[in-house]
Amino acid sequence: MPDAEGHPAPEDMELGKIFAALADPLRRKVVLTLLQEDGETPRACGTFGMPVAKATRTHHFRVLREAGLIFQVDRGNGRLSSLRRAELDQRFPGLLDLLMHEGAREAAKTEANKTAAAET
Partner DNA sequence: CTTTAGGTACGATGCAAGTCGTACCTATGA
Partner DNA sequence: TCATAGGTACGACTTGCATCGTACCTAAAG
| Residue placing its CB nearer to a copy of itself in the complex, 15 or 73 | 15
- Rounded CA separation 6/63 (Å): 10
Minimal distance, residue 35 CB to DNA, in Å = 19
> How many other CB atoms are found less than 10 A from the CB of residue 47?
11
> Nearest distance from residue 66's CB to DNA, in Å?
10
Side-by-side strand order, sheet with 70-74: 43-44, 79-83, 70-74
Q: Which of residues 41-100 bind a copy of itself (CB under 8 A)?
A: 92-95, 97-99
- Residues in region 22-41 near DNA by CB under 7 A: 23-24, 26
Q: What are phi and psi of 69, to 5 degrees?
A: -75, -40
Judge whether 67 and 20 are in contact, CB under 8 Å.
yes
Task: Mark the segment that binds a copy of itself (CB under 8 A) among 12-20, 36-44, 55-63, 68-76.
Answer: 12-20
State in angstroms the smallest separation of the CB of 20 from a copy of itself: 4
Name residues contacting DNA, limited to 52-111 (CB under 7 A).
52-63, 72, 76-79
Q: How far is the CB of 80 from a copy of itself (least distance, A)?
A: 26
C-beta neighbour count of 51 within 10 angstroms: 7
